[in-house]
Amino acid sequence: MPSTPVGRLHRLEATPREKMMERVERRFLSGERCTLAQVWLYRGALVPSHTHESEQISYIVNGALRFRLGTERSEEHVVRTGEVLVIPSSVPHAAEALEDTYDLDFFAPRREDWIAGDDAYLRGKATSPRG
């Protein structure tokens, strides 16, 4: 008798890129407890300050992003190809693409706001305090 599959195989490339705000595109996949996202930010893209419950791990595959963290956005990190930034849960953060950038983001817990389409800050619309 065949066993019941435990894992699920996905091809992210089978999902079209979603155009978000100007100069930002993404694809994402969520499991039961986490979200994996491919994000393309083209030079000059600005992601406004926002927060979320999820811890975020951003791996820059190619390019460079300037992150500003904290309520006053006073902590700054320029993250370049091959580097990883870990952003703790509920820390306000914003990003600017210093060059065309391909970013892999991992979130835990999963991004319920993205799943529900409640991510106005990425769609160039007004944002709530918890983005």
Residue-wise pLDDT for 59-117, tens only, equals 999 999 999 999 999 999 999 999 999 999 999 999 999 999 999 999 999 999 999 99
Domain segments of the chain as ranges? 31-122
pLDDT over 50 (residue 129): no
pTM: 0.89
Rounded distance between C-alpha atoms, residue 67 and residue 77, angstroms: 5
Rounded distance between C-alpha atoms, residue 75 and residue 31, angstroms: 31
Q: CATH assignment of 31-122, given 2.60.120.10, 1.10.40.50, 1.10.3720.10, 2.40.30.30?
A: 2.60.120.10
- Angle at alpha carbon of residue 70, lines to 64 and 75, rounded to 5°: 50
Residue type, 77: H
Residue 21 confidence (pLDDT): 93
